[in-house]
Structure 1
């Protein structure tokens, strides 16, 4: 019996052409399915059936990959044309979509938004919409400028907290059990040691996650609209903040 002839290379399915876009798509797929902890140059190369060295032709290093991935993920956030009559509703929707993208669609990606200040085209598109909505609401130029940072930090922090819960705790009822634990603790604090906390303890856990998120967002927006902001921060102070 004759030995089987070797399989021709031409009979094998051709690999997709390697490109920056292909690398970003592969990275986003890994984030969606496996989370941020699984993301590495080696893992992306494996998904593309190539070696890590091949990626460096298109992406300088892991930091650049992170920057590209985060901006591509931001590109999935829908942006509406500003309607002055609905500016607050639209702003709530935009920040909510930002948070959901980072906590649900790409688990753990919020940490990439914390590491650097996003300045890609998609980040600028979302920030422009955010600023336009605040201008429609009557915010001052300085308040609008501060808002780009404050609202993004709020969305990123909430998303990061949510992704941590899903990563660290497998119990689907964790949130409810945690709330119950905190409520029990606050309701039992001695009034002589913690008089203020004892008087408002029952109020500290009111509202579900969506209600508390919306309340926090309104507090930030209302503060931006009513707090004098002109000249509050110097360029030097801002630089020192970034270096911390």
Structure 2
């Protein structure tokens, strides 16, 4: 007979990562990995609004009981799927003070590419907050800490550097992902939609000459290249700031 709820240890916060695994007497019909994989496929195909426990059960040809063995609700499922996505990020090993910048750049680009492969992340990642305690998030955080500490930052500043870098990448990429979701909803290519928007944008900027000049300069340019250029520029600024800090603190700052 299962223990009474009052006998279970209380969770510090509602999360799949803080809830004790439920005991079971027999092997469930579905594994956690199967459930997460199917949920990821559904999210990639139809977006965050399409995900429900009932729809996922239909997709897996399984009853709710099979899934609730592993997750208590949809929120816990989202936590698992988000962590699975972070498992796709490439984290270069911390080699030393001379290659931290190249390694960090590769990691930042890998994080961006991962988020853009799963644009639904833009609508859910920010809602998880402190409950991002999964093994892949831990691996990413640990890897970045190691990179910045190898560069010469003390542990406390390395933690701040990780927050600065990930906030930049997540912030700009979330906007990109939302834009890609809009494109998918309209069923048009990025170039087609941007080209159709230019007349309205230029008309709105008629009384703002600097902005109008900027819009005119972008006309005919591949919008994907423009997004990548913006990302690279901002990333360089973040890393330039960290490099200057390393120089001030006596670290290498090379890369």
Quick one: which of 162, 168, 188 aligns to 2:182? 168
**Higher RCO (C-alpha under 8 Å, 6+ residues apart):** 2
| Alignment deviations for residues 193-229 of structure 1 (CA, whole Å, 9 cap, x no partner) | xxxx56985799697211210111122223344469x
Q: Is the aligned partner of 1:88 residue 2:129? A: no
The residue number in structure 1 matching 2:159 is 145
Given candidates 109, 116, 126, the residue that maps to 1:103 is 116
C-alpha RMSD of the superposition: 3.2
Q: How does 1:46-65 map to 2 (within 5 A)?
A: 46-65=58-77
**Residues matched between the structures, number:** 207
Q: 1:87 to 1:186 in 2, by over 3 A?
A: farther
Q: What CA distance in whole angstroms lies between the structure 2 residues aligned with 1:98 and 1:204?
A: 29
TM-score (normalised: structure 2): 0.68
The 3 A distance-change label for structure 1 pair 52 and 209 is same
Deviates more, 1:78-87 or 1:218-227: 218-227
* 60-69 or 106-115: bigger deviation: 106-115
> How far apart, in 2, do the equivalents of 1:76 and 1:39 lie?
21
User: Are 2:122 and 1:116 aligned?
Assistant: no
- Hey, what's the Cα distance between the residues in 1 that align with 2:150 and 2:192? 40
Structure 1 length-normalised TM: 0.71
Distance in 1 (alpha carbons) for counterparts of 2:67 and 2:56: 9
Structure 2: unaligned runs, 5 residues or longer: 1-27, 247-255
CA–CA distance in structure 1, aligned partners of residues 204 and 148 of structure 2: 37
